[in-house]
Amino acid sequence: MCLAIPARVVELLSDGQALVDLGGVRKAVSLALVDAVCCGDYVIVHVGFALARLDPEEAAQTLALMHEAGVAGGDEQGPP
């Protein structure tokens, strides 16, 4: 089973990449599959690629459900 998780974009990097925050862990991911991503946006991340932009409310709901299920830490920063 594969899992794609919401992550908040904290910095746009060179070469079509972004630094994302995954519950306090920061990771560089490729933006090759999505357009018009800005800092503060939420994206769905799977194996190092942002697959799609995500509505902030939907991201918050998904992160809350993951936390309830015990598959996410408690340090996720919610939408602004």
pLDDT (tens, 9 = 90+) of the chain, 80 residues, equals: 567 889 999 999 999 999 999 889 999 999 999 999 999 999 999 999 999 999 999 999 988 888 888 876 544 444 44
- How many domains, the chain? 1
In a domain, 75, yes or no: no
* pTM, to two decimals: 0.80
Q: What is the pLDDT, as a whole number, of residue 3?
A: 76
Question: What CATH number does residue 57 fall under?
Answer: 2.30.30.140
How does DSSP assign the chain, residue by residue? ----EEEEEEEE-STTEEEEEETTEEEEEE-TT-SS--TT-EEEEETTEEEEEE-HHHHHHHHHHHHHTTSS-S-PPPP-
In a domain, 41, yes or no: yes
In a domain, 16, yes or no: yes
In a domain, 76, yes or no: no
In a domain, 34, yes or no: yes
Containing structural domain, residue 25: 5-68
In a domain, 48, yes or no: yes
In a domain, 20, yes or no: yes
Q: What is the pLDDT, as a whole number, of residue 63?
A: 87
